[in-house]
Homo-oligomer: A and B are copies of this chain.
Amino acid sequence: MTNTPLNALRTFEAVARNLSFAKGAEELNVSPAAVSSQIRLLEARLEQPLFHRKGRQITLTEAGKKLLPGVQRGLSELRQAVLKVGMDRSAGVLNISTMPTLLQKWILPRLSDFYEGHAEIDLRINADTGLVNFEQTDFHAAIRFGAGKWPGLKSQKLMDDWILPVCSPEMLRDIGPINSIEDLQGHDLFFVESEVWDSWFRVLGESGRESRWPLLNDSLSILMAAEQGQGIALSRWSLAARDIEAGRLARPIKTVVKTDWSYYFVSPPHFFDLPKVRIFRQWLLDHCASFSTPE
């Protein structure tokens, strides 16, 4: 069986609705001649005329009258289906992947603000450390810490970060302020095995690194341990800032080391500028801009 000439049906619908080849042509932004031949094609396919050409005005034949309603229903159904998918570009579900630590310490405290401002977007954040495969999942974007380049993806820098030592305010009272980075090495340091600390250890010199091994391998646990006075944690400003400002953590020494990597908003090109993605991205950027830096 030969398939239905869909475009000719659309032309037919426009002409039949206007009862005019010329108006139909105008509506479809084509010449009357194009419309004429499309209709001719459809009539040939159906092996019967669809319009009576009576001088300068046309009317539908019986066949045309019978065809029109179904074609209108069908086309409108298709239009709506496409429209609905289009709508989801600004509203609907927005799936974001990010790292557990950033989610817990930075995003979650700010999230209610987003929900309040954008009820039309159903934001779903997933905590996941590995790389997202955007080809095989429905994630629209991710927030990642890195050098800024991900193959095949568009990215935008959100903010820089700094490494800094933190401990509980009580501990700081007990041991007193620390005046040099070398002094710091006299205490228990918590940190996670990761290249994130490279910048920090470069400042200490290679020897500093060799001598130390991570005691805990989860950034959140480290911060919690520091908060409870168990030692000094090597953390990131982005994760600790809120606790410092709230007085739950203190800085034994003001020295900070900027990390090589930064936070980036990462997304496949076809999602990057989707309205709902753009809205979320802009919201992130605003909050990053007003986020404090460690002096």
- Which A residues fall within an 8 A CB radius of B? 3-4, 6-7, 9-10, 28, 43-44, 46-49, 52-54, 61-63, 66-67, 69-71, 73-82, 84-86, 88-89, 93, 135-138, 270-271, 274
Q: Give the residue name and chain of the B residue nearest to A68 (CB).
A: B81
A281 to chain B minimum Cβ distance, whole angstroms, is 16
A267 to chain B minimum Cβ distance, whole angstroms, is 12
Cβ 8 A contact of A48, one of B48, B135, B270: B270
Complex A-B: 19 CB contacts under 8 Å? A3-B10, A3-B28, A6-B7, A46-B86, A47-B274, A48-B85, A48-B88, A48-B274, A52-B135, A53-B135, A54-B136, A61-B138, A62-B138, A66-B88, A67-B81, A67-B84, A73-B81, A74-B75, A74-B81
Q: Give the residue name and chain of the B residue nearest to A28 (CB).
A: B3
List the 10 shortest-distance A-B pairs measured between CB atoms, nearest first.
A70-B81, A74-B77, A74-B78, A6-B6, A54-B136, A67-B85, A74-B74, A73-B77, A62-B138, A71-B81
List 18 additional contacts besides A6-B10, A73-B81; criterion CB under 8 Å: A3-B10, A9-B81, A47-B270, A48-B88, A48-B271, A52-B137, A53-B136, A62-B93, A62-B138, A66-B84, A70-B77, A70-B80, A70-B81, A70-B82, A70-B84, A71-B81, A74-B74, A74-B77
User: B47 contacts A136, CB within 8 Å?
Assistant: no
Contacts of A79 in B (CB 8 A): 4
Tell me which of A62, A69, A82, A88 has the highest count of chain B C-beta atoms within 10 A of its own C-beta. A82
A278 to chain B minimum Cβ distance, whole angstroms, is 12
This protein's copies in its complex: 2
A62 to chain B minimum Cβ distance, whole angstroms, is 5
Q: Give the complex CA separation of A9 and B43 in angstroms.
A: 23
Cβ 8 A contact of A270, one of B10, B49, B75: B49
A19 to chain B minimum Cβ distance, whole angstroms, is 15
Q: Give the residue name and chain of the B residue nearest to A76 (CB).
A: B74
Assuming the contacts A48-B274, A52-B136, A53-B135, asked whether A66 and B78 have C-beta atoms less than 8 A apart, the reply is no
Contacts of A136 in B (CB 8 A): 52-54
Q: Give the residue name and chain of the B residue nearest to A7 (CB).
A: B6
Assuming the contacts A4-B82, A70-B78, A77-B70, asked whether A89 and B48 have C-beta atoms less than 8 A apart, the reply is yes
